Amino acid sequence: MNCWQKVGKIESQSLTETRLQLHYAIQFMAAVGNFLTKPQPDFSHASLTWNSELKVFVSGLVTTEQPFQVALEPVSLTSLILDAEGNKLAEFSLPQKTLDEGMNWLKQTIEPLGADIAQLTFITYPNDFPDSPLASGSTFKGSDEAKRQELTAYFANTNSILQAVSASTEGASPVRVWPHHFDIATLISLPYTQKDEAVSIGVGMSPGDGNYDEPYWYVTPWPYPDTAHLTELAGGGAWHTKGWVGAILTASQLSQDEEQQVQVKAFLESAMKASLELLEENKNF
């Protein structure tokens, strides 16, 4: 069944402020994962997933006296506490509230569930974490629901595609939403090294960042290949070579005349194939 939601109703480069609001709103979940779940070497304990049935971002399960998860309903911008089966235990509307108010509510709500809230705080990231008035005490906005719906569609659409990639590709990780850059991705680990480094291909979607001020899909081979050997990509994709090397397809390149899902899949498939070929040129078993 095709579950793709058509995007492009709202100009993709007008989503910046809304993207920042959501990026900060998921930090409650990241904090809970970081401090209250079992640490993982790849930091995936702080990552989130997209729940396609509930249409929420959700943290990992916290195994307290009453196990729970923290979630975000992005369209209404509502923080949720769910039980292990996904039933709602509590909710907190973020519009007109500050980060501190949201954190205070979270602590007060999960402490009776058995959570140790003494060390619970927001994650501190490197300097590339985007700035926002929210970081200085401003409140979340509730007025841009249509834009939140648009950004949510990008995540839901991409999650559907990446779940298929993860399930059918050897070495692919589960699909995760990473709180640092707010991208959704799977990482394909390849069974060889290159100059003694682990080799991988990242496949995902960013809702926008310092590189592109709009959503974009990406495929990033690691280690970065020689840019002299980059090949043509399908679906309107191009190679990014400034600071990092990867294949990208921006939202503004999406066709409004053909099925968007077909275009995105064609881009990702061609970029994954090209990345694999580039990496295999220098592999060591």
Residue type, 32: V
Q: Which two tokens stand for residue 204?
A: 């995902």
pLDDT value, residue 132: 97
Please state, as a whole number, how many other Cβ atoms lie within 10 Å of the Cβ of residue 137: 10
Q: Where are the alpha helices (DSSP H) in the chain?
A: 16-25, 27-36, 99-110, 145-168, 260-280
**pLDDT per residue as tens digits for the range 158-205:** 999 999 999 999 999 999 999 999 999 999 999 998 888 899 999 999
pLDDT tier at 2, thresholds 50, 70, 90: low
Edge to edge, what strands does the sheet with 197-206 contain? 176-178, 183-194, 197-206, 216-222, 246-250, 238-240
Spans of all domains in the chain: 12-136, 181-280
In the predicted structure, residue 1 carries a pLDDT above the cut 90: no
pLDDT at 284: 65
> 74-83: per-residue pLDDT in tens?
999 999 999 9
Q: Please provide residue 283's backbone torsions phi and psi, each rounded to the nearest 5 degrees.
A: -80, 155
Q: Global pTM?
A: 0.96
Q: Please report, for the chain, how many H helices and E strands are present, in that order.
A: 5, 11
Nearest to 23 by CA among 159, 136, 181: 181
